[in-house]
Amino acid sequence: MPDSTLIDRFNRNLNYLRISITDRCNLKCLYCVPQDLIPKLPHHEILSYEEILRIVRVSIGLGISKVRITGGEPLVRKGVYHFLEKLAGTEGLQDISLTTNGVLLKDNIHKIKAAGIKRINISIDTLNREKFKQITGFDFFDQVWAGIELAQKTGFYPIKINVVPLKGVNDDELVDIARLSMTHPFHIRFIEYMPVGSIHMDIDRHFLAPEIKKHVEHLGELVPVDRSTNDGPAERFKFESGRGEIGFIRPISRHFCQTCNRLRLTASGQLRPCLMHDKQEDLKSIIRKGCSDRELAEVFLEAVRQKPLEHKLQKDHNAGSAVQMCTIGG
């Protein structure tokens, strides 16, 4: 194995790998899935669980200590709970988490916990049943909310609630969503919409963190929360009497590129050093040609060398990735 760890040209230590295990999803969110649906990957083009686990083991040897499983919707993939158990048992990982849209959560929460997963992120952009159907294309709000409540009762902590605020869509609910952090131990994460792929929402719909913060401060003063070692890019706050937290993730209004510690592995086996740049390294092809672990590690190091300093979205909202978010993983 190479002696190098995953330190890029700008002295960022890349210790976090986000892994998409499928490009399939059971929702069609208006800011994620294009109207002209792109073809789904054939089964043989998707990394097997064994291939993913091998990549994870090699990445741990290079310094990866944190992994998040994403999709599409990861819970739609057959065999996912056995895979999660294998992943959780991999020596060297300090933090393993799962991002889900929550549709399948209620019926499978005990399987997720039994697999060894302790932290989950749930994406839900509204507390209104009709609006949920408008945003996602499906009337699944009740079962998603039941899944969130059951996750809390089952002992998952923290439960992070991911929300993408959009003007004219859900901006009238931001106070109500933020209020959840006062009554529940949830970590609410307001995430600025990122123009990825062919879906570029009208610029007038973008709702940036300073404006979001003004809205939710009607509930009271937001007190800063100290950052911890494995924190992501969220600027963390809480209301003085709140049980949970409020966080703002600001890829547009104040990008966090200078502290980015992420690499992304797509379901098709491409290693992407940056979400918003289309440069990627092909891990699947070399694995299926019989490469050694050392050769696999060298591809990781090449991806790290290619990681750019920053994205260009602040200057040009059309400067994002040409690949759809649903194929990269959130």
pLDDT at 140: 98
- Residue, of 311 and 160, whose pLDDT is higher: 160
pLDDT of residue 201: 56
What are the angstrom distances between the C-alpha of 134 and each of 26, 71, 128, 192, 215? Answer: 15, 21, 10, 19, 23
Q: What is the pLDDT of residue 253?
A: 83
Q: Are 142 and 170 in contact (CB under 8 A)?
A: no
Residue whose token pair is 């992420």: 262
pLDDT digits (tens, 9 = 90+) for 30-41: 888 765 567 889
pLDDT digits (tens, 9 = 90+) for 2-20: 555 899 999 999 999 999 9
Chain segment 260-281, per-residue pLDDT in tens? 999 999 999 999 999 888 889 9
Is residue 73 within 8 A of residue 100, CB to CB? The reply is yes
Sequence-distant (6+) residues with CB within 8 A of 200 are 317, 318
Give the pLDDT score at 233: 86
pLDDT of residue 319: 46
Tens of pLDDT along 202-232?
Answer: 656 678 999 999 999 999 999 999 987 777 8
**pLDDT tens-place string over residues 40-49:** 899 999 999 9
pLDDT value of residue 145:
98
pLDDT given for residue 149 in this prediction: 97
Who's near 271: CB < 8 A, 6+ residues apart?
263, 264, 265, 280, 281, 282, 283, 299, 300, 303
Question: What mean pLDDT, rounded, does the chain reach?
Answer: 90
Across 72-82, average pLDDT:
97
Does position 131 have pLDDT exceeding 90, yes or no?
yes
Cα(11)–Cα(297) distance, rounded to whole angstroms?
19
Q: Kindly report the CA angle at 158 between 33 and 58, in degrees rounded to 5? A: 70
